[in-house]
Amino acid sequence: MFALLKIEWLKLKRYRAFWWMLAIVMLTYPGINLMMYTLYDTITSGKEMTNMLAKMLLGNPYAFPESWHTVAYFSSYFVMLPSILVIMLIANEYQFRTHRQNVIDGWSRQQFITAKMMGVLTVSIIVTIVYTLVACAFGFASDKMYYYRWSEQLQYIPLFLLQSFAQLSIAFLLGFLIKRAFIALGIFVFYYLVIENIAASYFKYKLHLDIVARLLPFKISDGMIIPPAFVGHWGKDAKQGYDNALSDVPTQIILTIALTAIIWYICYTVQKKRDL
Amino acid sequence: MSVLSLQAISKSYGPIKALNEVSFNVPQGSVFGILGPNGSGKTTLLSIILDILRQDAGSFSWFGQPGSPETRKQIGALLETPNLYHYLSAVDNLQITQAISGRGVPADIDKVIDIVGLTARKKSKFSTYSLGMKQRLAIGAALLGSPQVLVFDEPTNGLDPVGIAEIRELIKNLAKQGKTIIMASHLLDEVEKVCTHVAILKKGTLLTAGQVDEVLANEDIAEVSSSQPDQLRAALEHFPGYTSIKQDGKNIQLYFPVGTAKLEDINRFCFEKGVALNLLVLKKKSLEAKFFELTNE
C-alpha cells in the first residue's frame, strides 16, 4: 500500500497543477472565512441596538468550539478546487496512456485503482490539514474567552475529511468513466453547482420530499456538516430545521460511507472487466 | 521451453473479429516477428498478452504460468505508442517504471538512457522530445533492469534511418545475449533482418507461424537462363519433379517442393538437350514475396 502511494507521489511531485491547487486551497479556505468573519465583525461591532441584537443572535461563530463547525461549513463549498486536481490526475493517465503502461509494467488492474484511491485520500488529508489550521487560527484569534473550549466539537475534523473524500471520490468516478478532463470537469461543475441544487430545491420545496433531496450524491455528505449553529437562532422554524438536520447527521454519515464504498466498488469492477 | 504460449485466442470488437483462434508458441531465445497488414490484429494480440485487453476466448501463458502482474514484471514492453508522463523528464519517468516493475537498480536508469542515446536530454521533459526520441525512451523503459523477455510493437516507428539501423543493431545484440524478443511489425525487411521466427496474421487469422527459414522455404526456386530461351523453356517443360514454371524475360523459374531442387540435375538435363546455361541459381523467396502471396489470397 505504501509502495503504491510512493509511486503516486513520483507522478505528483513535479506536477505543477498539484502545487497550484495546494496554493489556491491555502488561500481560499482562510479567504472565505475571513470574508465571513469580517461580515460578522461589521454587523456586531457597532453600538446600536441592531448590532447588539445581531451579536446576541449570532453568538461568535468563529470562537471555539463553533469555529470547527463554521470553518468546515464554509470551506466545504470549495471542494471544487481539489476536485479539478483529482479529475486531472485520472484523466492524465488516459491522455498519456500511462493507465496501460502501469499495468504493462506490472501493476494489477486493481492496484491501479488502489493507488488512485490513496491519491484521492491524500488530497483529502491535505485539504483537511489546511482546514484544521484555519479553524484553529480563527478559534484562537477571534475570542480569547473561549480558548478553554478548543477541544469541543473536534468531530468536525474527521467529518471534514470524510466529506472531502466522499465528494472527491465522485469527481474521481466522473474522470475515471469519462476519461477526458474537460468533459468530466464540465459535467462535475455543472452538476455540483446547478443541477443538484435545482433538484434538491425541487424535491424539498415543490414535492416536499426532503428525504429524496438529502439522498442526492453531494447532499448526502453535505448533510454531515450542517449550516453553522446561528442559522437556528432565527425563530421557531429555523430552530426546528437546525435540530432536524443535526439529528440526521449520524444517518448522513452512514449514507456517505455507503455511497463512497459503492463508488469505489464501481471503479474496481469496471477496471477489472473493461479493455484498457 | 516456450516463453509464451497462445491457445486459440479470439477477440471481437462488436461485429469485427479482431483475432480468430490464434495459437502459437514463442521459443526461448527467439526473435519472434508478428507480421501482418494494418488492422490484422497484431497490436490486439500484444495487448491481450500484456493484460490490456481481455480475450473473448482462449488462453495464454508466460513461462508456463497464466499471465499475472508477476509475469509482466519480468517483461519489458512497448505497446503501440510511447506511454510516458509528458510533464516528467526521462529520469523521472524511468523512476516510475522502475518502482512499478521492480526491474533493476537506480543506477540502471542512466545506463538505459545512455543505450538509447538520450543522455544529453535526460533531464528534459518528455513533452519536449521529438517523436523519435519519445520512441527511444519507451524502448529504454522496456530495457530497464535487462528483462529476459522484450515485447516491441512497431519499435522503429517514428525513427529516422539512422535510428532504425541503431534499433536493429540493438535488437540483434539483445538476441545475442539470449533474450527472447517478440516484435510486431509491418516492416518486412526489418523482420527478415532480425527475426528467427515469424507469425503472419491476416484479418485476425494466423496464416502461418514458425522459423523464418521454414516459413520462407516451403518452395525451392531454381532460376535458369540461356541465350536460347525458347529451346530452354521447351526442354525444361520435360524436366521431372517441378511444381510450376514461370518465365520472366530470358530468366525461367522452376518451383520445386522444398529440398528437391537439384541444380546439378538441371544443368546435366539441359546440356543433354543441347541447351547451354548462362545462369543457374537456387533462390529463396523473399519474406516480402511470401507475405504478399499469403495475405493476397
**Mutation test of the interface with chain A: which of B45, B47, B52, choosing the one with the most A Cβ atoms within 10 A?**
B52
Asked if the Cβ–Cβ distance from A96 to B85 is below 8 Å, we say yes
Asked whether A275 and B53 are in contact (CB, 8 A), the reply is yes
State the pLDDT confidence band at A221, using cuts at 50, 70 and 90: very high
State the pLDDT confidence band at A43, using cuts at 50, 70 and 90: confident
Sheet of B16-27: strand order equals B16-27, B2-13, B57-62, B65-66
Which are the contacts of B22, defined by CB distance < 8 A and separation ≥ 6? B6, B8, B9, B10, B41, B45, B58, B201, B204, B205, B206
H helix runs in B159-225, sequence order: 161-176, 188-194, 212-216
Which chain B residue is nearest to residue A3, measuring alpha carbons?
Answer: B99
Largest CA-CA distance found in chain B, in angstroms, rounded: 76
Q: What is the distance of C-alpha A38 from the center of its chain? A: 23
Residue-level pLDDT at B71: 94
State the pLDDT confidence band at B217, using cuts at 50, 70 and 90: low
Q: Is the pLDDT confidence value at B286 over 80?
A: no
Write the DSSP string, B2-34.
EEEEEEEEEEEETTEEEEEEEEEEEETT-EEEE
How large is the average pLDDT for residues A186-208? 92
Asked whether B150 and B76 are in contact (CB, 8 A), the reply is yes
Share of chain B above pLDDT 70, in %: 98
Write the DSSP string, A143-179.
-GGGGGGTTTTTTHHHHHHHHHHHHHHHHHHHHHHH-
- Spell out the domains of chain B, with CATH numbers in brackets: 2-215 (3.40.50.300), 217-295 (3.30.70.100)
How large is the average pLDDT for residues A220-233? 85
Residue pLDDT, tens place only, B110-164: 999 999 989 999 999 999 998 889 999 999 999 999 999 999 998 888 888 888 8
Grid coordinates representing B297? 489470397
Asked if the Cβ–Cβ distance from B53 to A6 is below 8 Å, we say no
Which chain B residue is nearest to residue A15, measuring alpha carbons?
Answer: B87
Write the DSSP string, A63-130.
STTHHHHHHHHHHGGGGHHHHHHHHHHHHHHHHTTHHHHHHHTT--HHHHHHHHHHHHHHHHHHHHHH
Rounded Cα distance, A191 and A179, in Å: 17
- Kindly report the CA angle at B214 between B246 and B154, in degrees rounded to 5? 100
Asked if the Cβ–Cβ distance from A14 to B83 is below 8 Å, we say no
Interface of A with B (CB under 8 A): 3, 6-7, 10-11, 14-16, 92, 95-98, 100-109, 111, 273-276
Grid coordinates representing B236? 525444361
Using the CB atoms, write b or e for A135-162: b if 16+ within 10 Å: bebbbeebbeebeeebeebeebbebbbb
Residue corresponding to grid cell 539441359: B270
Rounded Cα distance, B36 and B200, in Å: 6
Rounded Cα distance, A238 and B241, in Å: 105
Of the listed ranges A60-69, A86-95, A125-134, B21-30, the one predicted with least confidence: A60-69
- Which residues in chain B touch residue A276, judged by CB atoms under 8 angstroms apart? 52-53
pTM of the model: 0.86
Residue pLDDT, tens place only, B39-49: 899 999 999 99
Which are the contacts of A209, defined by CB distance < 8 A and separation ≥ 6? A203
Asked whether A211 and A155 are in contact (CB, 8 A), the reply is no
| Kind plus residue range of the DSSP H or E element containing B180 | strand B180-185
Share of chain A above pLDDT 70, in %: 100
Q: Is the pLDDT confidence value at A144 over 90?
A: no
Residue B249 DSSP SS3: coil
Residue pLDDT, tens place only, B263-273: 999 999 999 99
Asked if the Cβ–Cβ distance from B79 to A100 is below 8 Å, we say yes
Residue-level pLDDT at A42: 85
State the pLDDT confidence band at B287, using cuts at 50, 70 and 90: confident
Grid coordinates representing A197? 441544487
Residue pLDDT, tens place only, A58-107: 778 888 888 999 999 999 989 988 999 999 999 999 999 999 999 999 99
Rounded Cα distance, B64 and A78, in Å: 53
| Orientation of helix A109-142 relative to helix A156-178, angle to 10° | 140
In DSSP terms, which residues pair with B76 in a beta bridge? B150
Q: Is the pLDDT confidence value at A219 over 90?
A: yes
Asked whether B67 and B51 are in contact (CB, 8 A), the reply is yes
Residue B275 DSSP SS3: coil
Which chain A residue is nearest to residue B54, measuring alpha carbons?
Answer: A275
State the pLDDT confidence band at B186, using cuts at 50, 70 and 90: confident
Rounded Cα distance, B80 and A4, in Å: 25
Residue corresponding to grid cell 491519491: A119
Rounded Cα distance, A51 and A56, in Å: 9
Residue B224, Cβ density class (10 Å: 0-12 exposed, 13-18 middle, ≥19 buried): buried
Asked if the Cβ–Cβ distance from B53 to A103 is below 8 Å, we say no
State the pLDDT confidence band at B297, using cuts at 50, 70 and 90: low
Of the listed ranges A241-255, B130-144, B160-174, the one predicted with least confidence: B160-174
Q: Is the pLDDT confidence value at B190 over 80?
A: no
Beta strands B197-202 and B31-35, pairing class: parallel
H helix runs in chain B, sequence order: 42-49, 69-72, 90-101, 107-115, 131-143, 161-176, 188-194, 212-216, 229-236, 263-272, 287-295
Cβ of residue B101 closer than 8 Å to a chain A Cβ:
yes
Residue-level pLDDT at B169: 86
Output the average pLDDT for chain A. 90
- Which residues in chain B touch residue A106, judged by CB atoms under 8 angstroms apart? 69-70, 72-73, 100-102
Q: Is the pLDDT confidence value at B218 over 70?
A: no
Share of chain B above pLDDT 90, in %: 60
Rounded Cα distance, A79 and A128, in Å: 11
Asked if the Cβ–Cβ distance from A101 to B84 is below 8 Å, we say yes
Asked if the Cβ–Cβ distance from B86 to A111 is below 8 Å, we say no
Number of domains in chain A: 1
Output DSSP code: residue A230.
Answer: G
Domain boundaries, position A206: 2-273
Q: Is the pLDDT confidence value at A195 over 70?
A: yes
Q: Which residues, numbered 15 to 34 in chain B, qualify as contacts with chain A under a Cβ-Cβ cut-off of 8 Å?
A: none
| Kind plus residue range of the DSSP H or E element containing A133 | helix A109-142
Rounded Cα distance, A100 and B51, in Å: 9
- Would you give the end-to-end CA distance of chain A in angstroms? 22
pLDDT greater at residue A103 or residue B38: A103
Output DSSP code: residue B37.
Answer: -
Output the average pLDDT for chain B. 90
State the pLDDT confidence band at A135, using cuts at 50, 70 and 90: very high
State the pLDDT confidence band at A209, using cuts at 50, 70 and 90: confident
